[in-house]
Amino acid sequence: MLLKIEGVSKSYGKKKALTDFSYSFENGVYAVLGPNGAGKSTLFNILTCNLKQDEGRVLWQGKDIRTHKDEYLANIGFIPQQQDIYRGFTFERFLWYMASLKGIKSNDAKTEVKKVAEAVNLSEDLNRKLGAFSGGMKQRALIAQALLGSPGILICDEPTAGLDPKERISFRELVMEYGKNALVIIATHIVPDVENIAKEVIFLKEGRIAAAGDPNKLCKNTEHSHGIESELEAFYMSVNN
């Protein structure tokens, strides 16, 4: 999958949330790192057609996502940032509902629902209501719906929010595996979530790209004993100060 963002800007009134953002994505895992307010969710809401940019365009396989919206959205899985949704639905009903929104046929939905529930380790909880789920379980339910239909593009906005350390590790493993055959973009303000799994990182600061590229090349001192983990963290701090 190819996703090309060209000169995208978005303001809320006078507040500039995203300024002249350009980047090209292909298969693999990408991280958008930045503190709260950097513009990550604004970018992701534009990438998922939930928000219209003021300027610029987003091309998917060379086609403008706004003029090829239906076709494009059928290829997207989205983990939105907010999680308090469909409290009265059982997890299974929620997945069936999301599958129908995605246009997955009911024959396929049966297998898909089973598969994605397993992927997030919630197979035993399909009959429970989402309102009774813990924060980590709700987040895993959101991850599960994004995986329905194995979309070629997976867009994750702060996907590890509310996950405990064990759940974080299994999410990292899931993403690493998924990124082998798909384009995965993860927004986060937590560096350890994406170190060692992102082939490219984009540091977002006040709506602009402060630095971007292969983390091993961005962080020059990787031969030193601390390794890429702390180098990336240090680089992130330097970019955002």
Residues 80-109 contacting Mg ion, CB under 5 A: 81
Using the minimum distance from each CB to Mg ion, give the nearer residue, 192 or 227.
192
Closest approach, Cβ 153 to ligand ADP, in A, equals 19
Using the minimum distance from each CB to ligand ADP, give the nearer residue, 19 or 150.
19
Q: Does residue 188 belong to the site contacting Mg ion (CB under 5 A)?
A: no
Strand 208-213, strand 200-205: pairing: antiparallel
Q: Does residue 139 belong to the site contacting Mg ion (CB under 5 A)?
A: no
Using the minimum distance from each CB to Mg ion, give the nearer residue, 81 or 240.
81
DSSP states of the chain: --EEEEEEEEEETTEEEEEEEEEEE-SEEEEEE--TTSSHHHHHHHHTTSS--SEEEEEETTEETTTSHHHHHTTEEEE-S-----TTSBHHHHHHHHHHHTT--HHHHHHHHHHHHHHTT-GGGTTSBGGGS-HHHHHHHHHHHHHTT--SEEEEESTTTT--HHHHHHHHHHHHHHTTTSEEEEEES-GGGTTTT-SEEEEEETTEEEEEE-HHHHSTTTTSTTHHHHHHHHHHHHHT-
Locus of tokens 């009911």 = 106
Give the residues lining the site for ligand ADP (CB under 6 A).
12, 15, 17, 34, 36-42
> Which residue's C-beta sits nearest to Mg ion?
41
Using the minimum distance from each CB to ligand ADP, give the nearer residue, 125 or 158.
158
Using the minimum distance from each CB to ligand ADP, give the nearer residue, 17 or 76.
17
Draw the binding track, 35-74, toward Mg ion (x: CB under 5 A; -: no contact): -----xx---------------------------------
Using the minimum distance from each CB to ligand ADP, give the nearer residue, 39 or 215.
39
CA diameter of the chain = 54
Q: Which of Mg ion, ligand ADP, none sits in contact with 42, Cβ below 5 to 8 A by type?
A: ligand ADP
Q: Which of Mg ion, ligand ADP, none sits in contact with 39, Cβ below 5 to 8 A by type?
A: ligand ADP
- Which range of residues in 77-85, 86-94, 95-103, 166-174 is near Mg ion by CB under 5 A? 77-85
Binding residues vs Mg ion (CB under 5 A): 40-41, 81
